[in-house]
């Protein structure tokens, strides 16, 4: 029973954090005045990937995708992953 609780907690926590990545990406992208298309080209990732990340549809972006995004946004990975980024 405790194992189920822990697994459920971490699953929910991971979903919450993945949604946070999308919210942070959206906020950072807009602060820089970049469209989804522009960030996809700057990061050299598929446009659909940016759309899905931006909306919280991708829950487990690869480390390569995260690196490309942070480089194109000129921020560190911890900023993109941070909970409550402001």
Q: CATH for 2-81, among 1.10.260.40, 1.10.150.120, 3.40.605.10, 1.10.3720.10?
A: 1.10.260.40
For the chain, give the mean pLDDT.
81
Angle at CA 33, nearest 5°, toward 23 and 57?
30
Question: What's the whole-number mean pLDDT along residues 26-46?
Answer: 96
Q: What is the pLDDT of residue 79?
A: 86
Question: Domain segments of the chain: what residues?
Answer: 2-81
Alpha-carbon distance values, 32 to 2, 3, 29, 35, 54 (Å): 44, 43, 5, 9, 14
pLDDT tens sequence across 24-34: 999 999 999 99
Confidence of residue 56 (pLDDT cuts 50, 70, 90): confident
């Amino acid at each position: 029973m405790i194992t189920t609780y822990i697994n459920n907690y971490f699953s929910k926590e991971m979903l919450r954090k993945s949604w946070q990545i999308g919210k942070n990406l959206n906020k950072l992208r807009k602060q820089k005045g970049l469209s989804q298309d522009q960030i996809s080209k700057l990061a050299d990732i598929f446009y659909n990937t940016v759309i899905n990340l931006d909306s919280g549809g991708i829950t487990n972006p690869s480390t390569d995708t995260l690196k490309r995004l942070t480089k194109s946004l000129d921020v560190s990975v911890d900023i993109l992953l941070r909970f409550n980024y402001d």
